[in-house]
Amino acid sequence: MKIKLLDIEKKSESRNDKSLGIQTYGESNDYPQQVMNLLAASCTGGSCYSNYRKFVTGKGFADLNIYGKKINRQNHTLDYLLEQITNDLAMFGGFAMHVNYNANFKVSEVQYIPFEQVRFEKLNENGEFNRVALHPDWARQFTALRKWKKDDICFINFFNPDPEIIAMQVENAGGWAKYKGQVFYFSNEGDKCYPLPIFNDVLTDMNTEEAISNLTNRNATKNFFPAGMLINKRQRAESEEQESETERSLLEFQSSKNACKIFYVEVESDEEIPEFVPFRATNYDKEFSVSRDSAKDNIGRSFNQPPILRSENIGGNFGADLMKNAYNYYNSVTENERIILERNLTAIFTHWWQPFEMNFKITPLSYNYSEE
């Protein structure tokens, strides 16, 4: 699997990390976490992701009889499971679920697993692996709250409902009481491959959008581009560590909100007199505007999303017919993802301990407009 690194703009393959016993997800093993952080910081990326996720989820299951069906001891329901795995499918291109069995080798519980917590077991000498590794903080983002420990890594077998396979795994674990169950893992890149989100190619554009926002914020709040500098003769009685009365008065005059609009410089020569030297600042607004618009356009195209769905480039043509057409179009774009969810949920719950009428078809969104 090849993924784009955000800082050095090159692609790198996953590697075996023998110390942890895993295959890294990106060079630093934090690719999912970087995706999450970039989406959170990119206005356009976040908006596109939100719309994409909503269209994949649709209105939920068409069969309302299974909507609130309990699937584990935490009383989570099927609609909750659908919402969680849809979020991950939209964000990462994959999702994961934990499956438990009863003594009859039937699925007794299904739990959602946050996708960013899952890694593949390292490849063996034959280039194969059969387990995933779970850890709550692979990227070590929360070490201030919880000490990072290798012992927290939990290895679990991939989903395989074959009773003979389950029986063998239970025996190897030392009985049902010690059996960890299995993990169902879906990737849009194929079997036993780390997935890539549909917007992988524009992660750098999301990074660009964040950088421009940060620069604009610094300029607005701290005046990143100073207006000029005031040159003044230092009083001989003052040391370099002391703040002159003139400097204090000047800063008070500017106030905290306007501080740094002027550079204050002291000189020691009696011959030099105070003078104000204005800076000829370059106007970067045009350059920023072009970069921002380019990033927005690239991000929108990666999601294959009509601009009207995120209220962009619509002018005065925000009509019901245009919105209906946009809904119909994007429903067709996201149809494959809904089919993926239906197919994989069926693959698990076909083995449910208590047979029930299974219809995991998802109802697409529709634009309801009524003119009063």
Average confidence (pLDDT) over 303-321? 76
Digit-coded pLDDT (tens) for 14-23: 899 999 999 9
Q: What is the DSSP letter of 77?
A: B
Q: What is the pLDDT of residue 200?
A: 94
Q: Where are the domains of the chain?
A: 2-205+335-349
pLDDT, greater one: 310 or 108: 108
Q: What is the pLDDT of residue 256?
A: 46
Q: What is the pLDDT of residue 57?
A: 97
Percent residues over pLDDT 70 in the chain: 73
Average confidence (pLDDT) over 320-325? 86
Q: What is the pLDDT of residue 220?
A: 59
Supply the mean pLDDT for the chain.
83
Does residue 333 surpass a pLDDT of 60? yes
Q: What does the alpha-carbon distance between residue 353 and residue 372 come to, in Å, rounded to a whole number?
A: 50
Q: What does the alpha-carbon distance between residue 56 and residue 180 come to, in Å, rounded to a whole number?
A: 31
Q: What is the pLDDT of residue 289?
A: 72
Q: What is the pLDDT of residue 107?
A: 97
- Calculate the CA 162 to chain-centre distance: 35
Residue 185, CB-side half-sphere exposure with 13 Å CA sphere: 25
Using alpha carbons, list the distances in angstroms from residue 210 to 4, 224, 290: 17, 17, 14
Q: Are 157 and 183 in contact (CB under 8 A)?
A: yes
Does residue 266 surpass a pLDDT of 70? no
Instruction: Describe the crossing of helices 78-92 and 31-41 by its angle, rounded to 10 degrees.
Output: 90
- Pairing relationship of beta strands 154-158 and 182-187 according to DSSP bridges: parallel
Percent residues over pLDDT 90 in the chain: 57
Q: What is the pLDDT of residue 262?
A: 59
Give the tokens for residue 353.
């301990």
Q: What does the alpha-carbon distance between residue 142 and residue 138 come to, in Å, rounded to a whole number?
A: 10
pLDDT, greater one: 216 or 82: 82
Cβ neighbours, 10 Å, residue 144: 6
Q: What is the pLDDT of residue 234?
A: 60
pLDDT band with cut points at 50, 70 and 90 for residue 9: very low
Please tell me which of 161-170, 213-222, 237-246 the model is most confident about, judged by mean pLDDT. Answer: 161-170
Q: What is the pLDDT of residue 307?
A: 87
Average confidence (pLDDT) over 359-363? 95
Average confidence (pLDDT) over 29-49? 93
Q: What does the alpha-carbon distance between residue 88 and residue 82 come to, in Å, rounded to a whole number?
A: 10
Q: What is the pLDDT of residue 299?
A: 92
Q: Are 137 and 146 in contact (CB under 8 A)?
A: yes
pLDDT band with cut points at 50, 70 and 90 for residue 63: very high
